[in-house]
Amino acid sequence: MSRFASDVSFLACTEYDRERIAAAIDALTAPLVLPNLHGSRVLLKPNLISTAGPALASTAAEFAAGAAIWLREQGAQVFLGDSPAFGSAQRVCDRHGISEALHGLEVELVEFHHAVRTRLACGVTLPIAVEALECDLLVGLPRIKAHQQMYVTLALKNLFGVVKGTHKSLLHMKLGGDDAHARFARIIFDLHLLFPHQLHLIDGIVAMHRSGPMNGEPLPLGVVGASLSPVALDSAVLSLLKVNREASPLWQVARELACPGWDVAELNFPLKKPDEFLLPYFATPAQLNPVRFSILRYLGGMGRRLFKEPFRHL
C-alpha cells in the first residue's frame, strides 16, 4: 500500500444536509490522491439491505445525494447500484427516499442484472456485478453499523453487495461450523482485491449500534470519513469507536494476512485523528450469531422476492 492509500480522513459532520455533506466530501478527499474524474464512469455503491428494514439500516438518502453532487461537480458520470439479497435496488431506493433525493442530479440507478463468475483469492467463485467490475471508480457509501454476525460493518462489508442477488443468501446457507465467521470474513475481504480504483466514504452522522444490521438503535456520532483503502478505513473507524478490534472477523483476517492498512499505528490522518473525537459510547453485540441462515429465513426471503418484485427483476 502506498503512502497515499494509507491516508484516512475524518471530519465532524452533524447534519444530513446534502450541500454540507458534499462540502465535507470535498474536504475529506482533498488530501487523497484521486485520478481526474472528469468523464469517468463512477459507481456509487450504497448499502441497500431491504425494503423491510428501517431507513437506518441503509445508506442515508441525503448522504448518497451529497456524494452524487460532489462527483457531478468533478465531471463524473454517476451510476448508483447495489444488489440486495432479496428484491431490487430500485424498490429499496424508493422505499427509503434515495430515489427522491437523487431526482434531478443526473444519477442513473442500475440493477445488477449481469454478473461474471469470478474466482476470489481464497478459492471461492462468486457472480460479481459487471457494473462494479467495469466502472472507472467504485465509491462505497457504508454507514457505521453494529452487526450480529460481523460485529461492526463498515467499508469492507459494504462490498458484499457486488455479489449478485440471492447468491449472497446461498453463501450464508452453505457456511457452518466453528470457523464459519472466519471463512465468511475472508470471502468478503477478498472482494476488495477485485477493484483497483476505490474510494470509500463512511457515514457516521447517525450510526446504528447495539444490534444490526436491521434492528439496531440510532446513535448520533457526527463524523464522516474517507479513504482509498477499505481496510485502512475500517481499522481507523474501529479505533475511532474504541471497540474491541479483536472481536471483528474482518479485522482479524486483515491482520492475519498482514494486509496493508490493518495496523492503525501505520495509518496517516491528514485531517483529524481518531482520538481527537469525543464520541458517545458505541455498543456492540455481546456475542456473534451464526453466519448460516436458517432454512425458514432463506425460504421466506425467496418468497418475498418471487411474489413482491416485478418479474423483470427475477
Q: For every one of its 314 residues, what pLDDT tens digit does the chain have, with 9 covering 90 and above?
A: 444 568 999 999 999 999 999 999 999 999 999 999 999 999 999 999 888 889 999 999 999 999 999 999 999 999 999 998 777 999 999 999 999 999 999 999 999 989 999 999 999 999 999 999 999 999 999 999 999 999 999 999 999 999 987 766 666 556 656 688 999 999 999 999 999 999 999 999 999 999 999 999 999 999 999 999 999 999 999 999 999 999 999 999 999 999 999 999 999 999 999 999 999 999 999 999 887 654 444 445 444 444 444 433 32
Half-sphere exposure of 154 (CA within 13 A, CB side): 29
pLDDT score at 292: 66
In order of 36, 51, 77, 138, 153, the CA distances from 40 in angstroms are 8, 31, 6, 11, 28
Long-range contact pairs involving 52-56 (C-beta distance under 8 Å, separation at least 24): 52/214, 52/304, 53/213, 53/214, 53/215, 54/214, 55/96, 55/97, 56/143, 56/206, 56/208, 56/216, 56/218
From the number of C-beta atoms within 10 Å of its C-beta (0-12, 13-18, 19+), residue 282 rates as: buried
Q: pTM for the whole thing?
A: 0.91
* Domain extents in the chain: 8-302
pLDDT score at 5: 67
CA–CA distance, 149 with 161 (Å, rounded to integer): 16
pLDDT score at 179: 84
In order of 45, 51, 138, 296, the CA distances from 228 in angstroms are 14, 30, 10, 39
pLDDT score at 85: 73
pLDDT score at 186: 96
In order of 67, 106, 121, 180, 312, the CA distances from 101 in angstroms are 11, 11, 37, 38, 24
What CATH number belongs to 8-302?
3.40.50.11440
